A and B are shown apart, each in its own frame.
Chain A
């Protein structure tokens, strides 16, 4: 393992039990996160991206099962009892939630939130040290020190999200998961928070897994990007590389359907993400894929590394020796009913 690797995920699977059978929310996912790096995880709702984020931290709800390997600084998290996970996670792994309003206790001052967090993980700190550390982190998030003893309701939404980020960073974690940290915020405040996340690396040396549905956000703040579809990572690589030359048809279509100011025509992906109780056979994107070939519904795609560096799981990129004869012919299929489109 690369000494700079903070987190190493191998063949991770997460299921949820339902009446209809297991939902395979995460189905064989592998990736590494290097120290100080920001990895963006993007996908549509229901693709398993939030489950993956929680799974890595060992925070899955009851009724779920996890399998595979998550190694954080060479210590395995999967299959370890919750008590031990808590010790491994400790101060070194953090989580930033989507809704800052619901995660701060309205009856506790900001100073008390920080004291509680720091005391739990670093019991030897004096009150003076706690205050100094907290105020320093808050200042770096742009929260004036004069407001250290205020209550959460005295802050605006963007300020509360800054406080949430400061609460995660005050422990100086090596790795943080941020799950849609800007979705509940206004456009201008979102841009301010993205700037803060973008600057994390230079200010805190924290590795970040940024989960979002918006490719624009990834482009703003991530070094690398992993695109998730129906529980699997279909493409992963350097953000600039993936955006300028998307290898997987899903990445390409998702980029085309993102509406931004430079969009010149509206584009959408026909159909909707599959039901993860009974996912489509072979490549899970084949029913919606404009480039689908005969091999796609028959065989699971094999991950290949492209000359440009990205990893991609799509038969368009081979390996050719595994494609059965005639497999590259276009897939014949019935017209999609327009009802399925959306």
Chain B
């Protein structure tokens, strides 16, 4: 867990070279227009499932995002750089505070962060008003890189 994070953090200072590689790997994903100041900002992943916390940040890193994983809502709320979060990828059901509850809490605190939900459950099980609270997309596990990329695009544009 620590190793990828360190690598991601070190990637923070690198230039756009890596990004040029991406279109060859993940087809159909448009190239980011520029690597500017915004690129310093991060994508936060909040999930109680370790598999997701370990794998998703790496993939996000390959796509070209800096990512950081949190095991619970509480852990994220305690993060001192919440404002740096460019996008949130939240698991819906988590012990303690759930994904939607975290979203509400962030809104309440004034953090308006584009949010992508994800769940291991079926479509029927998600709250009907989930996407009306300002969420961009809900990803159903397991999801492909393309779907993730599309959601990220939607969130950031």
The answer to whether A and B belong to the same complex is: no
The residues of A with any CB-CB pair to B shorter than 8 Å are none
The residues of B with any CB-CB pair to A shorter than 8 Å are none
